Structure 1
Amino acid sequence: MKDRIDKGDIVLVNKSGKYHKQVGEVIEVDYNIFFVKIVIVKLGYQEEAFEEKDLKLKTKKPNIEEIIASIDKIIEQVDQIPNLPTREKVELPNRLKYLKLDIPKLDKQLIQKNFDSIDKIFTAAREADSSANFWQKIDPNLEKISWWIRTSL
């Protein structure tokens, strides 16, 4: 069933009341003693529990195939970054390729270490030139990878 709500998904609160029409991220899924699916949703800085029937799925968490495709899209854009030092021009594609290989293994420490290094290189490059068009292709893919790492491991 495609509309099943899982950890990491973005949902809209359909239940009338204090949280009606708010959007949040699912941080946990559990069942109560009556086997009713209870979904813990992060809404801003707080967490609230809802029955699954009170939520509407807005965005599914990306799957591994989507993450690997995002990495490929970023690799294609690396050559577009003009102010990247030679060391980073070599290191960045290599780290992205390693990340691509590490993701199916689901090794949290290895994936997080690689992603942090990639993010650090991009942060430095963005400071040098944040207005370039290639960031419009890189940033959404980095966000998607970060979302997957945060919610999958």
Structure 2
Amino acid sequence: MNNRIEKGDIVLINKSGKYYNQIGEVIGVDYNIFFVKIITVKLDNQEETFEEKDLQLQTKKPNLQEIIASVDKILEQVDRISHLPTKEKVELPNRLKYLKLDIPKLDKQLIEKNFDSIDKILTVAREADSSASFWQEIDSNLEKISWWIRTSL
């Protein structure tokens, strides 16, 4: 595992003080005049800066292969959604396949458009029947894709 802290990673603050033991998302990486890595971390509704030595990596942001695998995992679950209207039953797998093809191109507009359409279809389907066990797998993979889009594009 790459232990370098990068934008989009989740970190734990291990510096004693006000933010000790809080978890946040890295939103920026810079260096000061002494070439010390300075990391900007989003904590709840605020941003704070820390030296890299004051942070402990918790979770790396997902890479391209993990995101494509997440799309595949959602595709596997689509057939199990029984409350999809006919139009969405065709559109959802197609959109997921297009998203999978678009991800390596890193075209932010195209990826966001497809992801938003997928998310809307799944939100409506979830409202019709949210008790099914496969929603947990779909939701965790959607969250991973959303995190990657937010931090990588």
TM over 0.5: yes
Q: Deviations over 1:65-84 (max 9, x none)?
A: 00000000000000000000
Counterpart position of 2:92: 92
Counterpart position of 2:72: 72
Task: Using the TM superposition, give the Cα deviation of residue 106 of structure 1 relative to its aligned residue in structure 2, in angstroms.
Answer: 0.4
Counterpart position of 1:37: 37
- What pairs up with 1:1-153 in 2 under 5 angstroms? 2-153=2-153
How large is the Cα RMSD of the aligned pairs? 0.7
Instruction: Tell me how far apart the structure 2 counterparts of residues 125 and 64 of structure 1 sit (CA, whole Å).
Output: 27
Runs of 4+ in 1 over 6 A off after TM superposition: none
Supply the AA of the counterpart residue of 1:90: V
Instruction: Tell me how far apart the structure 2 counterparts of residues 30 and 53 of structure 1 sit (CA, whole Å).
Output: 14
Normalised TM-score (structure 1): 0.99
Instruction: Tell me how far apart the structure 1 counterparts of residues 88 and 80 of structure 2 sit (CA, whole Å).
Output: 13
Q: Deviations over 1:41-98 (max 9, x none)?
A: 0000000000000000000000000000000000000000000001001000000000
Q: How many residues align?
A: 153
Q: Secondary structure at the match of 1:76?
A: helix
Instruction: Tell me how far apart the structure 2 counterparts of residues 107 and 41 of structure 1 sit (CA, whole Å).
Output: 26
Task: Using the TM superposition, give the Cα deviation of residue 5 of structure 1 relative to its aligned residue in structure 2, in angstroms.
Answer: 0.2
Task: Using the TM superposition, give the Cα deviation of residue 2 of structure 1 relative to its aligned residue in structure 2, in angstroms.
Answer: 1.5
Supply the AA of the counterpart residue of 2:114: N
Unaligned runs of 5+ in 1: none
Using the aligned pairs only, state the percent identity: 81
Normalised TM-score (structure 2): 0.99
Instruction: Tell me how far apart the structure 2 counterparts of residues 93 and 30 of structure 1 sit (CA, whole Å).
Output: 40
Task: Using the TM superposition, give the Cα deviation of residue 18 of structure 1 relative to its aligned residue in structure 2, in angstroms.
Answer: 0.2
Instruction: Tell me how far apart the structure 1 counterparts of residues 25 and 37 of structure 2 sit (CA, whole Å).
Output: 16
Instruction: Tell me how far apart the structure 2 counterparts of residues 12 and 100 of structure 1 sit (CA, whole Å).
Output: 32
Supply the AA of the counterpart residue of 1:22: Q
Supply the AA of the counterpart residue of 2:143: E
Instruction: Tell me how far apart the structure 2 counterparts of residues 2 and 123 of structure 1 sit (CA, whole Å).
Output: 34
Q: Secondary structure at the match of 1:35?
A: coil
Instruction: Tell me how far apart the structure 1 counterparts of residues 34 and 107 of structure 2 sit (CA, whole Å).
Output: 35
